[in-house]
Amino acid sequence: MALQEVCKWQAPDAQGLTPHLSPAGGWAVPRGCDPQTFLQTHGPPLAHGTTTLAFRFRHGVIAAADTRSSCGSYVACPASRKVIPVHQHLLGTTSGTSADCGTWYRVLQRELRLRALREGQLPSVAGAAKLLSTMMSRYRGLDLCVATALCGWDRSGPALFYVYSDGTRLQGDIFSVGSGSPYAYGVLDRGYRYDMTTQEAYALARRAVAHATRRDAYSGGSVDLFHVRESGWEYVSRDDAWVLYAELRKLPEPEKQEEEEAGQAHPEPATPHGAGDGGGLSGGLVPGDSGPPAEPETL
Protein backbone atom coordinates (compact mmCIF):
# COMPACT_ATOMS: atom_id res chain seq x y z
CA MET A 1 0.00 0.00 0.00
CA ALA A 2 1.34 3.41 -0.92
CA LEU A 3 2.41 5.92 1.71
CA GLN A 4 -0.09 8.46 0.41
CA GLU A 5 -2.98 6.10 1.13
CA VAL A 6 -1.84 5.27 4.67
CA CYS A 7 -0.81 8.72 5.95
CA LYS A 8 -2.81 10.87 3.56
CA TRP A 9 0.54 12.47 2.63
CA GLN A 10 0.90 14.59 -0.47
CA ALA A 11 4.20 15.46 -2.11
CA PRO A 12 4.98 19.19 -1.94
CA ASP A 13 4.85 21.25 -5.08
CA ALA A 14 8.38 21.23 -6.46
CA GLN A 15 7.66 24.33 -8.53
CA GLY A 16 6.60 26.48 -5.61
CA LEU A 17 8.73 28.11 -2.92
CA THR A 18 9.60 25.80 -0.03
CA PRO A 19 12.08 26.03 2.84
CA HIS A 20 12.93 22.34 2.48
CA LEU A 21 15.53 20.81 0.22
CA SER A 22 14.44 19.86 -3.26
CA PRO A 23 13.90 16.19 -4.08
CA ALA A 24 16.48 14.21 -5.97
CA GLY A 25 15.13 15.28 -9.34
CA GLY A 26 15.22 18.93 -8.39
CA TRP A 27 19.04 19.04 -8.32
CA ALA A 28 19.34 18.51 -12.08
CA VAL A 29 20.66 21.30 -14.28
CA PRO A 30 18.33 22.90 -16.86
CA ARG A 31 17.28 20.69 -19.73
CA GLY A 32 19.57 20.62 -22.70
CA CYS A 33 22.64 21.72 -20.67
CA ASP A 34 25.72 19.64 -20.06
CA PRO A 35 26.30 19.50 -16.25
CA GLN A 36 30.04 20.13 -16.46
CA THR A 37 29.67 23.02 -18.92
CA PHE A 38 26.82 24.54 -16.87
CA LEU A 39 28.84 24.49 -13.64
CA GLN A 40 31.93 25.94 -15.33
CA THR A 41 29.85 28.75 -16.83
CA HIS A 42 27.55 29.63 -13.94
CA GLY A 43 29.41 28.27 -10.94
CA PRO A 44 31.47 30.64 -8.79
CA PRO A 45 35.24 30.56 -9.48
CA LEU A 46 36.40 29.48 -6.01
CA ALA A 47 40.16 29.63 -5.55
CA HIS A 48 41.72 27.32 -2.99
CA GLY A 49 45.24 26.57 -1.86
CA THR A 50 47.42 24.98 0.77
CA THR A 51 51.03 24.17 1.65
CA THR A 52 52.06 20.58 2.28
CA LEU A 53 55.51 19.05 2.12
CA ALA A 54 57.32 15.81 2.81
CA PHE A 55 60.95 14.74 2.57
CA ARG A 56 62.91 11.58 3.21
CA PHE A 57 66.10 11.53 5.26
CA ARG A 58 68.28 9.15 7.23
CA HIS A 59 65.95 8.81 10.23
CA GLY A 60 62.64 8.44 8.38
CA VAL A 61 60.18 10.69 6.57
CA ILE A 62 58.99 14.14 7.66
CA ALA A 63 55.51 15.38 6.72
CA ALA A 64 54.33 18.92 7.44
CA ALA A 65 51.39 21.09 6.41
CA ASP A 66 49.49 24.22 7.28
CA THR A 67 45.98 24.03 8.76
CA ARG A 68 43.95 26.62 6.82
CA SER A 69 41.06 25.34 4.69
CA SER A 70 39.81 28.08 2.39
CA CYS A 71 37.17 28.50 -0.28
CA GLY A 72 37.85 31.66 -2.22
CA SER A 73 38.26 34.51 0.26
CA TYR A 74 36.36 32.55 2.92
CA VAL A 75 38.41 30.63 5.52
CA ALA A 76 36.24 27.59 6.16
CA CYS A 77 38.43 26.15 8.94
CA PRO A 78 41.63 27.59 10.44
CA ALA A 79 42.59 24.36 12.24
CA SER A 80 41.99 21.50 9.81
CA ARG A 81 44.16 18.39 9.64
CA LYS A 82 45.89 17.97 6.26
CA VAL A 83 48.12 15.02 7.20
CA ILE A 84 45.97 11.87 7.39
CA PRO A 85 47.17 8.60 8.96
CA VAL A 86 46.50 5.58 6.76
CA HIS A 87 47.91 2.92 9.09
CA GLN A 88 50.66 2.65 11.69
CA HIS A 89 53.53 3.08 9.20
CA LEU A 90 51.90 5.23 6.50
CA LEU A 91 50.78 8.87 6.34
CA GLY A 92 49.46 11.02 3.54
CA THR A 93 49.40 14.77 2.95
CA THR A 94 46.25 16.18 1.36
CA SER A 95 46.03 18.96 -1.22
CA GLY A 96 43.09 19.71 -3.47
CA THR A 97 39.40 19.36 -2.69
CA SER A 98 38.90 18.40 0.96
CA ALA A 99 35.94 16.12 0.25
CA ASP A 100 37.82 14.24 -2.49
CA CYS A 101 40.92 13.80 -0.32
CA GLY A 102 38.95 12.55 2.67
CA THR A 103 36.90 10.14 0.57
CA TRP A 104 39.82 8.58 -1.24
CA TYR A 105 41.86 8.17 1.90
CA ARG A 106 38.97 6.27 3.49
CA VAL A 107 38.84 4.06 0.39
CA LEU A 108 42.60 3.50 0.58
CA GLN A 109 42.42 2.59 4.28
CA ARG A 110 39.71 0.03 3.54
CA GLU A 111 41.56 -1.56 0.63
CA LEU A 112 44.86 -1.79 2.53
CA ARG A 113 43.08 -3.35 5.49
CA LEU A 114 41.45 -5.97 3.25
CA ARG A 115 44.80 -6.80 1.64
CA ALA A 116 46.40 -7.16 5.06
CA LEU A 117 43.68 -9.61 6.09
CA ARG A 118 44.05 -11.63 2.89
CA GLU A 119 47.86 -11.65 2.65
CA GLY A 120 48.79 -11.50 6.32
CA GLN A 121 50.91 -8.35 5.97
CA LEU A 122 50.50 -4.72 4.95
CA PRO A 123 51.49 -3.74 1.40
CA SER A 124 54.60 -1.66 0.83
CA VAL A 125 54.50 2.11 0.36
CA ALA A 126 55.05 1.60 -3.37
CA GLY A 127 52.14 -0.84 -3.47
CA ALA A 128 49.85 1.59 -1.65
CA ALA A 129 50.83 4.40 -4.03
CA LYS A 130 50.18 2.19 -7.07
CA LEU A 131 46.81 1.12 -5.69
CA LEU A 132 45.70 4.70 -5.05
CA SER A 133 46.82 5.96 -8.46
CA THR A 134 45.09 3.06 -10.23
CA MET A 135 41.78 3.65 -8.43
CA MET A 136 41.76 7.41 -9.08
CA SER A 137 42.87 7.16 -12.71
CA ARG A 138 39.46 5.69 -13.61
CA TYR A 139 37.88 9.06 -12.78
CA ARG A 140 40.20 11.10 -14.97
CA GLY A 141 38.45 14.09 -16.52
CA LEU A 142 35.65 14.23 -13.92
CA ASP A 143 37.03 17.19 -11.92
CA LEU A 144 38.53 14.97 -9.24
CA CYS A 145 41.23 16.97 -7.43
CA VAL A 146 43.54 14.98 -5.15
CA ALA A 147 47.28 15.61 -4.85
CA THR A 148 49.01 13.69 -2.09
CA ALA A 149 52.40 12.62 -0.83
CA LEU A 150 52.44 9.14 0.72
CA CYS A 151 55.06 8.90 3.48
CA GLY A 152 55.87 5.55 5.03
CA TRP A 153 58.35 3.00 6.26
CA ASP A 154 58.32 -0.56 4.95
CA ARG A 155 60.75 -3.44 4.58
CA SER A 156 62.97 -1.39 2.26
CA GLY A 157 63.22 1.55 4.67
CA PRO A 158 61.76 5.07 4.44
CA ALA A 159 59.83 5.73 1.23
CA LEU A 160 58.06 8.73 -0.31
CA PHE A 161 55.67 8.83 -3.30
CA TYR A 162 53.65 11.59 -4.95
CA VAL A 163 50.24 10.61 -6.35
CA TYR A 164 47.86 12.78 -8.37
CA SER A 165 44.23 12.16 -9.26
CA ASP A 166 44.99 11.66 -12.98
CA GLY A 167 47.06 8.57 -12.14
CA THR A 168 50.49 10.21 -11.90
CA ARG A 169 52.83 8.40 -9.49
CA LEU A 170 56.36 9.63 -8.73
CA GLN A 171 59.02 8.53 -6.27
CA GLY A 172 61.47 11.02 -4.78
CA ASP A 173 63.17 12.51 -1.74
CA ILE A 174 61.39 15.89 -1.56
CA PHE A 175 57.83 16.84 -2.51
CA SER A 176 55.81 19.97 -1.81
CA VAL A 177 52.23 20.32 -3.03
CA GLY A 178 49.85 23.27 -3.01
CA SER A 179 49.76 26.95 -3.82
CA GLY A 180 52.52 27.64 -1.28
CA SER A 181 54.85 24.96 -2.67
CA PRO A 182 57.15 27.35 -4.63
CA TYR A 183 58.03 29.16 -1.41
CA ALA A 184 58.47 25.89 0.48
CA TYR A 185 60.71 24.49 -2.26
CA GLY A 186 62.96 27.56 -1.97
CA VAL A 187 63.62 26.79 1.70
CA LEU A 188 63.89 23.02 1.20
CA ASP A 189 66.36 23.24 -1.69
CA ARG A 190 68.56 25.49 0.40
CA GLY A 191 68.67 23.45 3.61
CA TYR A 192 67.94 19.81 2.72
CA ARG A 193 70.53 17.11 3.37
CA TYR A 194 69.89 13.39 3.56
CA ASP A 195 72.18 12.99 6.59
CA MET A 196 70.39 15.59 8.71
CA THR A 197 69.75 15.01 12.38
CA THR A 198 66.18 14.70 13.60
CA GLN A 199 66.12 18.18 15.12
CA GLU A 200 67.55 19.71 11.94
CA ALA A 201 64.79 18.01 9.93
CA TYR A 202 62.12 19.33 12.28
CA ALA A 203 63.50 22.86 12.05
CA LEU A 204 63.70 22.70 8.24
CA ALA A 205 60.09 21.53 7.85
CA ARG A 206 58.77 24.18 10.23
CA ARG A 207 60.77 26.91 8.51
CA ALA A 208 59.58 25.90 5.03
CA VAL A 209 55.88 25.87 5.93
CA ALA A 210 56.13 29.06 8.02
CA HIS A 211 57.74 31.00 5.16
CA ALA A 212 55.13 29.66 2.72
CA THR A 213 52.26 30.79 4.95
CA ARG A 214 53.84 34.24 5.08
CA ARG A 215 53.82 34.66 1.28
CA ASP A 216 50.82 32.54 0.21
CA ALA A 217 47.41 34.08 0.93
CA TYR A 218 45.63 30.70 0.96
CA SER A 219 47.95 29.09 3.53
CA GLY A 220 48.04 29.87 7.23
CA GLY A 221 46.79 28.88 10.63
CA SER A 222 49.26 26.51 12.27
CA VAL A 223 52.05 24.15 11.22
CA ASP A 224 51.47 20.42 11.78
CA LEU A 225 54.56 18.23 11.93
CA PHE A 226 54.68 14.42 11.66
CA HIS A 227 57.60 11.99 11.69
CA VAL A 228 57.44 8.46 10.26
CA ARG A 229 59.97 6.17 11.97
CA GLU A 230 60.67 2.47 11.75
CA SER A 231 58.42 1.96 14.79
CA GLY A 232 55.55 3.95 13.25
CA TRP A 233 54.39 7.51 12.71
CA GLU A 234 54.55 10.16 15.41
CA TYR A 235 52.68 13.44 15.76
CA VAL A 236 55.45 15.86 16.74
CA SER A 237 53.85 19.26 17.20
CA ARG A 238 51.42 21.95 16.11
CA ASP A 239 52.82 25.51 16.17
CA ASP A 240 51.13 28.78 15.31
CA ALA A 241 52.45 29.85 11.90
CA TRP A 242 52.65 33.58 12.68
CA VAL A 243 54.46 33.06 16.01
CA LEU A 244 56.81 30.56 14.37
CA TYR A 245 57.66 32.98 11.56
CA ALA A 246 58.34 35.79 14.07
CA GLU A 247 60.72 33.52 15.99
CA LEU A 248 62.50 32.49 12.80
CA ARG A 249 63.09 36.13 11.87
CA LYS A 250 65.06 36.61 15.10
CA LEU A 251 67.41 33.70 14.40
CA PRO A 252 70.64 34.27 12.39
CA GLU A 253 70.58 33.16 8.80
CA PRO A 254 72.26 29.77 8.20
CA GLU A 255 74.78 31.15 5.66
CA LYS A 256 75.94 33.96 7.94
CA GLN A 257 76.24 31.57 10.86
CA GLU A 258 78.37 29.17 8.78
CA GLU A 259 80.61 32.04 7.63
CA GLU A 260 81.12 33.18 11.22
CA GLU A 261 81.98 29.65 12.35
CA ALA A 262 84.40 29.21 9.44
CA GLY A 263 86.04 32.55 10.26
CA GLN A 264 86.57 31.53 13.88
CA ALA A 265 88.03 28.17 12.88
CA HIS A 266 90.38 29.62 10.21
CA PRO A 267 91.36 33.20 11.12
CA GLU A 268 92.96 35.29 8.36
CA PRO A 269 96.73 35.95 8.69
CA ALA A 270 97.74 39.40 9.90
CA THR A 271 98.73 41.90 7.20
CA PRO A 272 102.45 42.86 7.41
CA HIS A 273 103.20 46.45 8.41
CA GLY A 274 103.65 48.78 5.48
CA ALA A 275 102.25 46.41 2.89
CA GLY A 276 100.68 48.30 0.00
CA ASP A 277 99.25 47.64 -3.40
CA GLY A 278 102.65 47.00 -4.99
CA GLY A 279 102.55 43.22 -4.80
CA GLY A 280 104.20 43.06 -1.37
CA LEU A 281 107.05 45.49 -2.29
CA SER A 282 107.15 48.41 0.12
CA GLY A 283 108.42 51.90 -0.55
CA GLY A 284 107.88 51.70 -4.32
CA LEU A 285 110.85 49.37 -4.94
CA VAL A 286 111.01 47.50 -8.22
CA PRO A 287 112.70 44.14 -8.74
CA GLY A 288 116.47 44.50 -9.13
CA ASP A 289 116.81 47.72 -7.09
CA SER A 290 118.58 47.55 -3.74
CA GLY A 291 118.15 51.16 -2.65
CA PRO A 292 115.44 53.74 -2.37
CA PRO A 293 113.88 55.04 -5.56
CA ALA A 294 115.79 57.86 -7.30
CA GLU A 295 114.33 61.33 -7.03
CA PRO A 296 113.49 63.08 -10.31
CA GLU A 297 116.06 65.61 -11.47
CA THR A 298 115.11 69.26 -11.59
CA LEU A 299 116.50 71.76 -14.01
Amino acid letter at 213? T
**Active-site residue, from 37, 50, 67, 134:** 50
pLDDT digits (tens, 9 = 90+) for 17-50: 344 444 444 445 667 777 667 666 655 555 668 8
pLDDT digits (tens, 9 = 90+) for 239-254: 999 998 898 888 776 5
Confidence of residue 3 (pLDDT cuts 50, 70, 90): very low
Whole-model pTM: value is 0.70
pLDDT above 90 (res 205): yes
Distance set, CA 31 to CA 15, 18, 35, 214 (Å): 15, 22, 10, 46
pLDDT digits (tens, 9 = 90+) for 87-130: 989 999 999 888 888 889 999 999 999 988 998 888 899 999 99
In terms of Cβ atoms closer than 10 Å to its own Cβ (0-12, 13-18, 19+), residue 251 is exposed
Give the residue-averaged pLDDT of 71-88: 85
Residues facing 160 on adjacent strands: 151
- What is the distance between the alpha carbons of residues 129 and 164, in angstroms, rounded to a whole number? 10
- What is the distance between the alpha carbons of residues 29 and 41, in angstroms, rounded to a whole number? 12
Whether the CB-CB separation of 170 and 161 falls below 8 Å is answered with yes
What percentage of the chain reaches a pLDDT higher than 90? 42
Write down the mean pLDDT value for the chain. Answer: 79
Give the residue-averaged pLDDT of 152-167: 92
- What was the pLDDT predicted at 151? 95
Strands 83-87 and 169-171 come out as unpaired
Q: What element of type H or E holds 149?
A: strand 146-154
What percentage of the chain reaches a pLDDT higher than 70? 69
Task: List all residues 6 or more positions away from 108 whose beta carbon is below 8 Å from its beta carbon.
Answer: 86, 92, 128, 131, 132, 135
- What was the pLDDT predicted at 252? 73
50 carries an active-site annotation: yes
Task: List all residues 6 or more positions away from 110 whose beta carbon is below 8 Å from its beta carbon.
Answer: none
